[in-house]
Amino acid sequence: MRRCVWGSTVVLALFATLVPTGSAHAAPGARAEPLPLERLFDNTAVSHDARPGGADFDGSGGSLSAQDLTAAGWTPGRTLTLQGARLTWPKRRPGEPDNVLADGQSVRLRGHGDALAFLVAGTGGRQAGGRGTVVYRNGTRSTYVLTAPDWRTGPLATKAVALPHINTPGGQLAERARLYVMTVPLVAGREVASVRLPRAPGLHVFAAAVRAAARGWTGSWATATGGHPTVGPWTDRTLRLVVHTSAGGPRVRLRFDNTFAAGPVRIGSATVAVQEAGAAARGTPVAVAFRGAAGVDIPAGAQAYSDPLDFVVPADTNLLVSFHLPRTVPAAPVHRLAQQRSYVSGPGDHTADGSAAPYGTLLTSWPLLTGVDVGGGPGSVVLLGDSITDGDKSTTDANRRWPNVLATRLLDQSAVPHYGVLNQGISGNRVVLDRYPGDGVSTDTAGVSALHRFDRDVLAQTSVRTAVVFEGINDVRWQTTAEQVVAGLREIAGRGHARGLRMLAATILPCEGEARCTPAVDAERVEINTWIRTAGVFDGVLDFDAVIRDPARPSRMLPAFDSGDHLHPGDTGLAALADSVDLRKLVR
């Protein structure tokens, strides 16, 4: 008997979606004047370790440790970039009110953007949530549903940060406390004037912000963080990562993510250059800045964007992104399967050195760096996938992943926009279950599930217009049912549509001959593909199964496309996938 898991509280805790209200209408008039969030604080969540009873976050005396927050880089008044939104941790001393219990308060919040971001947590042992209202400057409004996982029992896979202790009047507990960032969509093109919070017992709001749309930027390269393994350790080393652009432009900015981390990381300096060969640059690498400074400290779970830099980024070209790590880094957020050789230097800051001489160690992963954006352009297409999208079994250093071939096709035509192509494939990834639990140092770098990473790896990507979902084979190979995978894909489509994205799905490839690809697994795969083709849930279908399968034996790949392991296409098969895409389907 099959059981669908999608009614679980874990999945419900992830929902933060726009609820349509029909045609726009005037907001009610006789309401309290909106106030800044900090003037509404009525609950105290943070205590000093010397006075663990000095706050009562959950009604039972439990609280967050001020020392743990400081160790994570979450200091009072600090603005953190989380899922592309700038959220300020409350500037309050331990024991002072630092959050609001959501009870319909009207919050002054201004700005244009693509989403509202809330820094939240629930108390009471289960998710907390309810319906709120966004009021726009033109007098119209929209409603949203905001839910927050519990601060002690919510999923670690989706937390913004986890702290190692909980303070209580009786002392400190070695138990993880969680904080979450949840985003809800806005009506496109309207300026926010205020936000009415839900009436939701147990829903605590620490910060809220309008996430600004990435106007004037196109994502050219991106990768997804799959885990937090041990590295190096690196002390006073420079990493020189090789990445391949899709779209080009006259300006550049870089994005670094400290995803899954328990503590901050320091980037001492960073440069960008066009690759000449190996670790050698074409010309002198050009320094980027971070809010005017040469380097940046990235708190646990947060991001850092470099300042815009006038630097001509060629399309379809390798770049060298170099950054110095002055402090010891024993573990880091990593995309493991780069299929690209990068480099680590000997001691010292070698970011400005154009030669390959300092870079004597090879690196086959991409730590910390998650995005390269270029100025201008029409926006980006995000490809959410597993090892086939990640390029497993493609030729190293040759950029023959199917996303690379698709990007080149887009550049070589004029019928549709020259979108950037962002590869968010993670080898081993699944739709339903987490391979990496989302917290702590781990040897598994197959990532949290597509459901758990969708907000970060799709919705928060730069100028995303269309998303392609190409996952499921790892689920069925490990005994997840077609029913569960279909429910997950349906949820992903709905969350993308709520944000105004064009959502496409690709059918799952056959894999007969691989050890886990039994006839029973193939039956589940066929059932999922039938649903993808016929349900009409997605805006379009890329029938990759039909492209790759052997017509004489549909449960396996054509031998000419098989890399040899019967699961992953080789270069020829990956090119066939990209060449089969009707580019018009990518246009929103």
Per-residue pLDDT tens over the stretch 427-456:
999 999 999 999 999 999 999 999 999 999
Query: Is the confidence at residue 280, as pLDDT, over 90?
Result: yes
CB atoms within 10 A of CB 515: 10
Mean pLDDT of the residues in the chain = 94
Would you state the pLDDT for residue 31? 58
- Copy the structure tokens of residue 31: 């309401």
Are the C-beta atoms of residues 463 and 422 closer than 8 Å to each other? no
Would you state the pLDDT for residue 32? 79
Query: Is the confidence at residue 119, as pLDDT, over 60?
Result: yes
Rounded CA-CA distance 580/308 in Å is 36
Q: What is the pLDDT confidence band of residue 82, given thresholds at 50, 70 and 90?
A: very high
Verify cis geometry, omega within 30 degrees of 0, for the bond prior to 559: no
Would you state the pLDDT for residue 588? 83
- Copy the structure tokens of residue 508: 């799952």
- Copy the structure tokens of residue 182: 């949840």
Rounded CA-CA distance 483/130 in Å is 28
Over range 5-24, report the average pLDDT: 36
Q: What is the pLDDT confidence band of residue 11, given thresholds at 50, 70 and 90?
A: very low
User: CB under 8 Å to 215, separation ≥6 — which residues?
Assistant: none
Q: What is the pLDDT of residues 474-507, one digit of tens each?
A: 999 999 999 999 999 999 999 999 999 999 999 9
Count H helices, E strands: the chain? 10, 40
Are the C-beta atoms of residues 147 and 15 closer than 8 Å to each other? yes
- Copy the structure tokens of residue 339: 């299929």
User: CB under 8 Å to 412, separation ≥6 — which residues?
Assistant: none
Over range 498-522, report the average pLDDT: 97
Residues across the chain: 588
Rounded CA-CA distance 253/140 in Å is 35
- Copy the structure tokens of residue 107: 């919050």
Write out the H or E segment, with its range, that includes residue 494. Answer: helix 482-498
Would you state the pLDDT for residue 22? 33
Query: Is the confidence at residue 192, as pLDDT, over 50?
Result: yes
Give 468's Cβ-side CA count (13 Å radius): 31
Are the C-beta atoms of residues 256 and 304 closer than 8 Å to each other? yes
Please state, for a pLDDT cut of 70, what percent of the chain lies above it: 95
Please state, for a pLDDT cut of 90, what percent of the chain lies above it: 94
